[in-house]
Structure 1
Amino acid sequence: MDNGYDKPGQMTELLKEIRRYAGHYACITAGACEDKELRVLLARIQKLDVSVVNPLLMSFFEDYVGDALSHDDFASMLSTTESYLFRRSVCDVATNSLNKFFSSVIARLNAVRDDGGNIREAYEAILLGEEGTERRMPSDAEFERALRTRDCYAFKRGFYLLTTLENSYHTKDPPDFTGGAFTIEHIMPQNALASGEWHKMFGPDCERAGCMAMS
């Protein structure tokens, strides 16, 4: 049966493609990207532990190395993806629809690329166009409401939240939290706000007192 790979050079091209995508995957999951900015962005996305996004990231990489995406647009799309995944996590939006959704995003962005359109703008438009669905990018208002009421102590991405907040104040020389030397510590006793005495001491703003820190 003719499968297209018995033609001269076809198998060689297939192996080259496999090797290229293996390189993309190593950059995404193993920190093999030489560009520091991209490496940091990819590492943060991996900390969110949403592996279903990896095919989409590989598609971004393929467009980047093929000069269909500029460095700045690629970095912007990675940042948007990180925000999309983290907002959904904080807002507890189900992830079971993302596999098919990301597959459709890849197909739509490929069509935009083939038509000579702006891939970054198209990607942002696709995410914003899902407002009101399970595939939505939570709005600032939805995200703020969820963040104010979320039990961050039991939140499995609480470490990511605190380290990202900390690094936002040190953009030029951010601390490295990947070595395992830092842990989440309690400033007050864990059940402090259950005590009437603690409530009285803090006053009406007791719920605004931060109780967790990195050390």
Structure 2
Amino acid sequence: MELFEALDNNLVSENDLDEIFLCIESYMARRIICGIDSGSLNKMFAFMGKNIKDLMSKEKISYLVAFKYIILNKVGHYRFPRDNEFEEKFLRKDIYNTKSNYKKYFLAELENYDNKERIDVYGQLDSGELTIEHIMPQTLNEQWKRELGENYDRIYEEYLHTIGNLTLSGYNSKYSNLPFKEKCNIEKGFNESRLYLNKFVSQQSHWTEDIIQERAHVLFKRALNIWKLPESSFAKTNEDDWT
């Protein structure tokens, strides 16, 4: 049973449909962050309509409730990553070297969530008006090594391309590998940025491992609101396992 067929047959409302699409978006986004292969999802979704219809018939529940139950109870490489797995991978994920459309998507969603003055992140990245900036730069000079401390090599290797160290800027070439304070204080620096992704950065006086970790956790709290785990209290009355 296809989604739009279910809508036509009044089995789902438009609000239900919106909730289902948001659930699928969260499912896919979390799986990308967690590095779960999605190659076989076409097969899963092809059978999902029948599974939903069967569950609705047996349990006398709505399409939305059946959909949530089924997708939340997928296991193995079909699983819906829970918050603890999502957090672990989100904080450490090499976002910068993921597929171009993926990293644009994650940065755009983090920037624009709950923001009435939305930024056309995709368009501005494509046009070059915005670029993806490493706060701790890709080339460490002596000033940056002192900024990071004696463990700068490890910090560089672990955090360079992670979400805690990435932001958006229209002045990437100007920032280059300037010391952190200069990146904040120069004309059009972080302190003057109106982007959400630069708000936390502009409030810092230095840039260290602890600060990178703190920013990553701040962004993860935002991520939990964007890519939510669906809520469901339904439990099957029979235990036939076909999900």
**Structure 2 length-normalised TM:** 0.55
Measure the CA separation in 2 of the matches of 1:159 and 1:121: 32
SS at 1:134 equivalent = helix
**Which residue of the partner structure matches residue 94 of structure 1?**
37
Q: Does 1:158 align with 2:113?
A: no
The 3 A distance-change label for structure 1 pair 177 and 209 is closer
The one-letter code sitting in structure 2 at the alignment partner of 1:102 is F
The one-letter code sitting in structure 2 at the alignment partner of 1:213 is L
Q: Is 1:167–1:174's contact at 8 Å kept on the other side of the alignment? A: yes
Measure the CA separation in 2 of the matches of 1:165 and 1:82: 14
The 3 A distance-change label for structure 1 pair 61 and 104 is same
Q: CA deviation at 1:155?
A: 1.1
Measure the CA separation in 1 of the matches of 2:6 and 2:103: 33
The one-letter code sitting in structure 2 at the alignment partner of 1:68 is L
The one-letter code sitting in structure 2 at the alignment partner of 1:119 is Y
**Which residue of the partner structure matches residue 22 of structure 1?**
none
For residues 1-150 of structure 1, what are the structure 2 equivalents within 5 Å? 59-112=2-55, 117-131=61-75, 133-150=76-93
Q: CA deviation at 1:164?
A: 0.6
Measure the CA separation in 1 of the matches of 2:164 and 2:51: 45
- 1:15-45 Cα shifts (integer Å, max 9, x gaps): xxxxxxxxxxxxxxxxxxxxxxxxxxxxxxx
Query: Which 4+ runs in 1 deviate beyond 6 A?
Result: none
**Which residue of the partner structure matches residue 210 of structure 1?**
165
Q: Which runs of 5+ in 1 are unaligned?
A: 1-55
SS at 2:12 equivalent = coil
Measure the CA separation in 2 of the matches of 1:68 and 1:98: 24
The 3 A distance-change label for structure 1 pair 178 and 159 is closer
Q: CA deviation at 1:176?
A: 3.2
The 3 A distance-change label for structure 1 pair 126 and 199 is farther
Q: Is 1:163–1:214's contact at 8 Å kept on the other side of the alignment? A: no
Q: Which moved more, 1:64-73 or 1:201-210?
A: 201-210
The one-letter code sitting in structure 2 at the alignment partner of 1:174 is R
Q: CA deviation at 1:81?
A: 0.1
- 1:167-192 Cα shifts (integer Å, max 9, x gaps): 1041x453334544454332546424
Structure with more contact order per residue of length (Cα contacts < 8 Å, sep ≥ 6): 2
Q: CA deviation at 1:107?
A: 0.9
Q: Which runs of 5+ in 2 are unaligned?
A: 171-243
Q: Is 2:104–2:121's contact at 8 Å kept on the other side of the alignment? A: no
Q: CA deviation at 1:137?
A: 0.4
SS at 1:86 equivalent = helix
Measure the CA separation in 1 of the matches of 2:97 and 2:146: 26
**Structure 1 length-normalised TM:** 0.61
**Which residue of the partner structure matches residue 132 of structure 2?**
185
Q: Is 1:90–1:146's contact at 8 Å kept on the other side of the alignment? A: yes
Q: Which moved more, 1:59-68 or 1:113-122?
A: 113-122
Percent of aligned positions with the same letter in both sequences?
24
Measure the CA separation in 2 of the matches of 1:119 and 1:195: 58
Q: Which moved more, 1:69-78 or 1:181-190?
A: 181-190
**Which residue of the partner structure matches residue 24 of structure 1?**
none
